[in-house]
Chains A and B, each alone.
Chain A
Amino acid sequence: MTTTVPRPRPNINEDIRPFWDAVKERRFKLMRCQTCSAWYWPAAYCRFHANEPFKGNMKWEQASGRGKVFAFNVHRKAFTPAFEAPYVYALIELEEGPMFGSNVIGCRPEDVKIGMPVEVVFSDVEENLILPQFRPSSIVCERA
């Protein structure tokens, strides 16, 4: 069903733009420390040691796009007509460590479970809006 009310757009500033630019190319990137290999989302200095000026030691790198459902909710009510209930908003524990908030699609809300393996899927939800959403995956990630 098409809705006439557009979805709210993500807040994109200098810090997060590389992430959303990559999403446009259907790639899922996280920020990675070039000194100790720790992963971050959103952008941050590495908290494990001293950093170079303006996070010079941090780079946006391609990530696996795999994870597990860490926590989730089922919206039985949509707060604007841009969304249609029911839908699932979940906290995905990414294989690399950080958490990422997104939708779980491709299954009924009733079938979403904590610990369920998921993988990123790039959805053309509207014209000029691609979102990194997650769907059930048969690949069980290493972490957790």
Chain B
Amino acid sequence: MQKSLNKKFAIVGMGLLAGRFPQHSQRSLQAEAARLAIEDSGLNPSQVNGAVDLMLAPGSGSPPMETDHFPRILGLPCKMFFSIGRGGAGGVLGTVAATKFLEMGMADYVVLSYGAKDWSRSRGPEKTGIRSIEKIGHWGKPFGDLAAVSHHTFFASRHMHEYGTKSEHFGAIAVAQREWAQLNPEAHFHGRPLTLDDYMNSPMVVEPYRLLDMCMINDGAMAFVLTTAERARDLAKPPVYVLGAGQGEAMESLWWEKANYTRLAVKTAKEVAFREADITIDDVDFAGLYDCFTGEVLFQVEDYGWCKKGEGGPFIASEGIGPNGKININTSGGLLSAYYFGELTHIAEAITQLRGEAGARQVPNARVGIASGHGGEIVSPGMCSTHATLVLGRD
């Protein structure tokens, strides 16, 4: 079959700002990360003539009608620009869309940028309480379903019920990712190790999830520059190729399809992405699996096929996914322990690993990595119905 992506496009620059930035607006953070990404690639900003604004779901967090988007305040001579988003899957979707514009010759270099002010808005000076409650859609909010941790527990609850998964299994994920974070100086929890006892003693927030099952929040931005493989060859950094990408949807089946509560919509996303990339699961040297909560990692370890459905808990606890584990999962520390930019967190780590710039946490001879996105609307009783897979690789 004709390949659309396989090694035809590459990421050539990256900019990352993670932490607390109450003094900067979200779009300023996006612009600054984009500037860093362009600088990293060795390009002159005047060459970057396409841009994509990576957003969360429409209306939740990202100002949808911003007049001065980041490429405008950066002064980029853009011929194309759009916003795209679907929860924690916008980075993969934006990448796929941008490749078509590059293929059509509508842009030579496209910079994609995601910004967040989640810390400032929830804890910092712009404090407005919990991050967001959609003003449209059928939330369970009058019933007290007010935070992502509430409806995400349904997946954990079902998995525990159907397969006997235990708190300790979720805890093993939190501990493993914290171990990776100890090797990543840029991780928020660098220097703060975690034991399984610490996890078990952390307060129950929404049972069965404890505080340490939940991802962190921060401010900042992540941006990267995408171009064609030909243009990628002579730039400052080794190209990180887009090998494949795919999307899957829980809405393939009925809203109340029971299996959708113990799996994510990985099947189609993986099939398409792996076919494009011409790989099997055994070719994957490391993976950034979307980890808004520990359970999502467990489901994906099963859904991607590292073990059978239902066996994720014992597999992770015995084989390991940390620095000395059988598979390398969320090597940056992930959303749980490093920083939160949706799946851009995992794309950033994949770029870093494939360039061989990951320092103490470098996966030896890393050639192929995946970054996965998860998200979508919260429409009780359904939620986060999308899954996206990006396969990246190097020469």
Q: Residues on A close to B: CB < 8 A? A: 7-11, 13, 16, 41-42, 44, 47, 70-80, 82-83, 87, 89, 91, 93, 97-103, 109, 114, 125, 129, 131, 133
**Residue among B133, B144, B256, B258 with the most chain A CB within 10 A?**
B144
Closest CB in chain B relative to A15 CB, distance in Å: 9
Which A residues touch B144, using CB under 8 A?
Answer: 7, 75, 78-79, 82-83, 87, 89, 103
**Bound complex: CA of A87 vs CA of B84, how far in Å?**
37
Inter-chain contact B154/A114, CB cutoff 8 Å: no
Q: 28 pairs across A/B with beta carbons < 8 Å?
A: A10-B138, A10-B141, A10-B142, A41-B381, A44-B255, A70-B158, A70-B261, A71-B153, A71-B157, A71-B161, A75-B150, A75-B206, A76-B203, A77-B203, A77-B205, A83-B144, A89-B140, A89-B144, A89-B145, A91-B261, A98-B256, A99-B256, A101-B140, A101-B380, A102-B140, A102-B143, A103-B143, A109-B207
User: Given the complex, which residues of B lie within 8 Å of A76, measured CB to CB?
Assistant: 203-207
Q: B137 in the interface, Cβ–Cβ < 8 Å?
A: yes
Q: Tell me if B281 is interfacial: C-beta within 8 Å of chain A.
A: no
CB neighbours of B249 from chain A (8 A): none
B381 A91 Cβ-Cβ under 8 A: yes
Q: Are A99 and B255 in contact (CB under 8 A)?
A: yes
* Interfacial residues of chain B within 114-132, with CB under 8 A of chain A in the complex: 129-130
Residues of A within 8 A of B136 (CB): 11, 13
Q: Is the CB of A73 within 8 A of B381?
A: no
**Pair A89/B150 contact, Cβ less than 8 Å:** yes
Q: Are B161 and A73 in contact (CB under 8 A)?
A: no
Q: How far is the CB of B186 from chain A (nearest CB, A)?
A: 30
B residues in contact with A10, CB < 8 Å: 138-139, 141-142
Option from B129, B143, B146, B154 in Cβ contact (under 8 Å) with A71: B154
Q: Are the C-beta atoms of B261 and A71 separated by less than 8 Å?
A: yes
With A89-B140, A133-B143 known to touch, is A101 a contact of B151 (CB < 8 Å)? yes
Least CB distance, A67 to chain B, in whole angstroms? 11
Tell whether, in the assembled complex, residue B381 and residue A79 are in contact, meaning their CB atoms are under 8 Å apart.
Answer: no
Does B208 count as interface, using CB distance less than 8 angstroms?
Answer: yes
Q: Who on chain B is nearest to A72 by CB?
A: B157
Residues of A with C-beta under 8 A to B206: 73-77
Tell me the minimal C-beta distance from A112 to chain B in angstroms.
10
- Is B65 interfacial (CB 8 A cutoff)? no
Chain B, residues 374-388, CB within 8 Å of chain A (1/0): the string is 000001110000000
Nearest CB in chain A: distance from B256 CB, A: 4
* Contact, CB under 8 Å: A89 / B143: yes
Task: Judge whether B157 and A73 touch: CB under 8 Å.
Answer: yes
Interface membership of B254, Cβ < 8 A: yes
A83 shortest CB reach to chain B, Å = 5
Closest chain-A Cβ to B92's Cβ sits at a distance in Å of 26
Expressed in whole angstroms, the Cα–Cα distance for A47 and B255 within the complex equals 11
Task: Tell me whether B147 is interfacial, beta carbon within 8 Å.
Answer: yes
Residue B311, interface by CB 8 Å: no
Q: Are A8 and B157 in contact (CB under 8 A)?
A: no
Q: Which of A8, A83, A109 has the most CB of B within 10 A?
A: A8
- The residue on A at minimum CB distance from B154 is A71
In the complex, what's the smallest C-beta–C-beta distance from A23 to chain B, in angstroms?
10
Bound-complex Cα distance A98 to B151 (A): 16
Asked whether A98 lies within 8 Å of B255 as measured between CB atoms, the reply is yes
Q: How many angstroms between the C-alpha atoms of A129 and B142 in the bound complex? A: 9
In the bound complex, how far is the Cα of B379 from the Cα of A100, in angstroms?
11
**A10 (CB) vs chain B CBs: closest residue:** B142
Besides A76-B204, A89-B145, 12 other A-B contacts (C-beta < 8 A): A9-B142, A11-B135, A42-B138, A71-B158, A72-B154, A75-B150, A77-B203, A79-B146, A80-B129, A80-B146, A89-B144, A100-B381
Specify which chain A residues have a CB less than 8 angstroms from the CB of B40 in the assembled complex.
Answer: none
Q: Tell me the complex Cα distance, A101–B130, Å.
A: 20
Q: Which of A11, A74, A83 has a CB less than 8 Å from the CB of B207? A: A74
Does B168 belong to the interface (CB within 8 Å)? Answer: no
> In chain B, what residue has the closest Cβ to A131?
B142
The reply to whether A7 and B161 form a contact with Cβ atoms under 8 Å apart is: no
- Considering the chains assembled together, what is the distance between the CA atoms of A47 and B143 in angstroms? 28
Question: For the complex, what is the distance from the CA of A133 to the CA of B143, rounded to whole Å?
Answer: 8
What is the chain B residue whose CB lies nearest that of A93?
B256
Min CB gap A68→B, angstroms: 12
Q: Which residues of B contact A80 (CB under 8 A)?
A: 129-130, 146
A101–B196 alpha-carbon span in the complex (Å): 32
Chain A min CB distance to B363 (Å): 36
Residues in B whose Cβ lies below 8 Å from that of A11: 134-139, 141
Q: How far is the CB of B235 from chain A (nearest CB, A)?
A: 47
Nearest CB in chain B: distance from A114 CB, A: 5
Partner of B256, one of A74, A78, A89, A97: A97
Chain B residues in 8 Å Cβ range of A82: 144
B133 adjacent to A8 (CB under 8 Å): yes
Q: Is the CB of B154 within 8 A of A91?
A: yes
> What is the bound-complex CA distance between A90 and B33, given in angstroms?
41
Q: Are B146 and A8 in contact (CB under 8 A)?
A: yes
